[in-house]
Structure 1
Amino acid sequence: MEDRLSRVFAALADPIRRDMVARLASGDATVNELAEPYPVTVQAVSKHLKVLEEAGLVTRGKQAQRRPVHLEAEVFDLMTKWIERYRRQAEERYQRLDEVLLELGQPRTEGGAP
């Protein structure tokens, strides 16, 4: 899981790739459609898509002459689980801090933050 998660986060480290993922969230698109707003070549966009594809974030279909790129949303479940685990741990630490502050007679932290 970690290796796949590392590939996903590495793929999303690039702002163009993050934007492509955001655009694909509203529907499939071709490479040419994805390339339109960027000041890069279609070949560069294809390379970005290859990185996203290797990370499992997108797949390329085939519909007659059209090859739409499709966002694989279940990959976000993997990311969400990983993030949620660390969010819960941080929340537990803040709750313990609140308990210690109460014992010391200090006011509670707002929303878990000092």
Structure 2
Amino acid sequence: METTQTTHIFILSGQSNMAGRGGVYNGEWNKLVPPECQPNPRILRFSAESEWVEANVPLHADIDVTKVCGIGPGMIFANNYLPVCAAKTVVGLVPCAIGGTAIAEWEKGEKLYNDM
């Protein structure tokens, strides 16, 4: 990420819907990527290796590692958000959702909240 560009960062936290289960059937992702989820060089994700990389679905594949991830709302949101931003704005997505967790685990002071 360049230091002179404007970057809008969004945390993608929560449970399975945010982690993305779209296109997952019988424990496998069908790898179908709808147009609104296509990659864009102005959409980055913060990887599990703590690096900014170009975002591709499934966004949570290296985060929610005990589940099969597919399509979630992150890329759809980012692709629809970019047109209302200045021309050189970059969207940074920070995936940290974990399916099968309780909402109480995301409360301030709890482990998942602190891990974000």
Structure that is richer in strand per residue: 2
Same fold (TM over 0.5): no
TM-score range, shorter chain: under 0.3
Greater share of helix: 1
TM-score with structure 1 setting the length: 0.27
